[in-house]
Amino acid sequence: MTDSLLKNLSLKSLMGLLFMLSISCNEKPSNAKLSSLALSIPDIVAPADSMHAQKQTIISTPIQYDTTKKYIYLTFDDGPQHGTTACVETIKKEQVKASFFMIGNQINDVYLKKLVASIRNDYPQILLANHSFTHAGNKYIYFYHHPQMAFNDFIQAQETINIPFKIIRLPGNSAWIGANSIKTSPLVRPVCKMLDSAGYNVIGWDVEWSFNHKTANPIQTPETMLELVNHAFEKNYTHTKNHLVILSHDRMFRNANFTDSLQKFISLLKQNSNYVFETVDHYPNLKKPL
């Protein structure tokens, strides 16, 4: 064996060893390094991105509705952000169910990817759902006046976040799409028709826990929120009778005193034995998962 051949073999072995060590340390090499290695070590494949490597099938757990009960769907929008972890921990501590509608382009570091993956894997207690990829850039009129762009935005979120079910909440707009009905404003109807044709459900809300847009702090007290929920059920001010969706936002509960408000509100709801917490995949008359 010639000296040059030995040198080439040694170099290839060394590069292979270094690449395998990078995989074992969970370090993702740059594209330039991958291209260089692919030329000399064709049998080695780069590790998949962590958001896609965890793809899995999650089956919706069937439930039987109790006609004597009233169902509450506690939902949180705009995560992951400051407050998401506090909300998740409170939900688990109180042993209730909740749904998190998340934004794709906010999942931009390793910690947030792990947080979203943990929420996805906490089903059936916690449900991960689609709140778009860009949140319309907070330019809702422009976003919804371009329905194909908006539709593509939701599809991108569905794929990049690895959302288990076709359940969406529109940014800045309460709309409903189920198996047999569509209820929307004229502004969002074009994109909703596209989402409906693609097999998606859209979930709006019945009661909102509002927040101060300067401080992001909750406006209503837990006691006031309980009154709003009770009143909505009593007067049938809900999209579906005996089923009530509560909208809130993760960031409202980022500070300990407001996390306590969330915990107190849940505790107050739990005192009513007729109230049952569920995730939004169990909202009535949704399209069945494919």
pLDDT at 3: 47
pTM: 0.81
Closest CA to 127 of 103, 100, 108, 109: 100
Residues 62-96 pLDDT 10s = 899 999 999 999 999 999 999 999 999 999 999 99
Euclidean distance between CA atoms 60 and 55, whole angstroms: 16
**What domains lie within the chain, and their CATH numbers?**
3-46 (no CATH), 70-282 (3.20.20.370)
Adjacent-strand bridge partners of 70: 275
Three-state SS annotation for 150-218:
HHHHHHHHHHHHCCCCCEECCCCCCCEECCCCEECCCCCHHHHHHHHHCCCEECCCCEECCECCCCCCE
CA–CA dist 69, 260 (Å, integer): 27
**pLDDT at residue 255, rounded to an integer:** 96
Amino acid found at 32: A
Q: Would you state the pLDDT for residue 288? A: 85
Q: So what's the pLDDT on residue 243?
A: 98
Q: What is the mean pLDDT of each run of 10 residues along the chain (290 residues)?
A: 42 39 38 32 33 62 92 98 97 98 96 97 97 97 98 98 97 97 97 98 98 97 98 98 98 96 98 98 89
pLDDT (0 to 100) of residue 59: 83
